[in-house]
């Protein structure tokens, strides 16, 4: 990814945007009763070009430079690759620039926020991850099935444990046969790391010890 560079003014602006989204993570709405929507279009990687090598990254950069029809998807895919390879500052800046340019009604926006959240979480920033995931849920008509366990994971990591348990309870209300047994986590959450499933098992244990009433 040697071709990719970023102007300093863009980094400063995106740093401000990142700070703003992190602050917004301090509050969440109360969980809804049920979360039945699969939301498969959102909870999936953004792919403009299949591949994961330097040649692919160069092609993605070309799409961005030319402002091609799928340039936004290329930005998201390249941002993910940058963060995964340890170039987190550049990856965050690219994600933030992309989100700043997407309409709130864009069908791509929530998908980018879902992916950005996971990249932030895996970079050790659960607070910033929570901000992205909360925005991916906010204002949408769907109740995505991924939201209760994912938000519970981030909240538990942030030591917001009562909130984490309330969100996990929403998963149990929705699919009690699935979320009442942590042995199902590898099947339900195949893309999660073992360590993340172990954290969610702690949330499960807290829920089982004192399940919150609804509403």
Q: Which among 94, 96, 188 is positioned nearest to 150, based on CA atoms?
A: 188
Whole-model pTM over 0.85: yes
For Cα atoms 141, 146, 151, give the angle at the middle one, nearest 5 degrees.
Answer: 100
Give the residue-averaged pLDDT of 66-75. Answer: 97
**Residues 179-205 as b or e (16 or more Cβ within 10 Å = b):** beebeebeebbeebeeebbebbebbbe
pLDDT of residue 6: 45
SS (H, E, C) 78-117: HHHHHHHCCCHHHHHHHHHHHHHHCCCCCCCHHHHHHHHH
pLDDT of residue 215: 87
Q: Which of 13-17, 104-108, 115-119 has the lowest mean pLDDT?
A: 13-17
**pLDDT confidence bin for 102, thresholds 50/70/90:** very high
Q: Is the pLDDT of residue 5 over 70?
A: no
Two structure tokens written together for 123: 């970079």
Q: Is the pLDDT of residue 12 over 60?
A: no
Q: Which among 157, 151, 171 is positioned nearest to 212, based on CA atoms?
A: 171
68 or 3, higher pLDDT = 68
Q: Is the pLDDT of residue 95 over 80?
A: yes
Q: Which among 79, 89, 83 is positioned nearest to 15, based on CA atoms?
A: 89
pLDDT of residue 107: 86
pLDDT of residue 2: 45
> Contact 163/28 with Cβ under 8 angstroms?
yes
**pLDDT confidence bin for 8, thresholds 50/70/90:** very low
Q: Is the pLDDT of residue 18 over 90?
A: no
Mean pLDDT across the chain, nearest whole number? 90
> Contact 119/83 with Cβ under 8 angstroms?
yes
Q: Is the pLDDT of residue 155 over 60?
A: yes
Give the residue-averaged pLDDT of 87-94. Answer: 97
Q: How far apart are CA 182 and CA 185, in angstroms?
A: 5
Two structure tokens written together for 191: 């893309």
Q: Is the pLDDT of residue 62 over 60?
A: yes
Q: Is the pLDDT of residue 25 over 70?
A: no
**pLDDT confidence bin for 26, thresholds 50/70/90:** low
Q: Which among 192, 211, 194 is positioned nearest to 203, based on CA atoms?
A: 211
Q: How far apart are CA 175 and CA 70, in angstroms?
A: 36
Q: Is the pLDDT of residue 113 over 90?
A: yes
> Contact 152/165 with Cβ under 8 angstroms?
yes
Give the residue-averaged pLDDT of 60-69. Answer: 96
Q: How far apart are CA 207 and CA 5, in angstroms?
A: 46
Query: Counting every residue, how long is the chain?
Result: 215
């Amino acid at each position: 990814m040697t071709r990719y560079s970023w102007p300093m003014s863009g980094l400063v602006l995106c740093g401000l945007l990142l700070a703003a989204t992190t602050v917004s993570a301090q509050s969440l709405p109360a969980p809804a009763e049920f979360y039945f929507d699969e939301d498969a279009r959102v909870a999936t990687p953004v792919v403009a070009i299949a591949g994961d090598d330097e040649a692919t990254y160069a092609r993605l950069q070309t799409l961005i430079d030319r402002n091609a029809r799928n340039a936004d998807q290329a930005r998201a895919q390249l941002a993910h690759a940058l963060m995964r390879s340890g170039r987190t500052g550049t990856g965050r800046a690219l994600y933030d620039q992309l989100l700043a340019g997407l309409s709130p009604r864009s069908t791509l926006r929530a998908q980018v926020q879902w992916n950005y959240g996971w990249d932030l979480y895996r970079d050790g920033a659960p607070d910033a991850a929570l901000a992205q995931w909360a925005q991916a849920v906010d204002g949408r008509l769907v109740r995505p099935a991924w939201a209760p366990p994912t938000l519970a994971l981030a909240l538990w990591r942030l030591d917001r444990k009562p909130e984490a348990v309330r969100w996990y309870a929403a998963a149990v209300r929705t699919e009690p046969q699935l979320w009442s047994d942590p042995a199902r986590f590898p099947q339900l959450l195949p893309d999660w790391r073992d360590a993340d499933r172990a954290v969610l098992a702690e949330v499960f244990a807290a829920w089982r010890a004192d399940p919150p009433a609804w509403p």
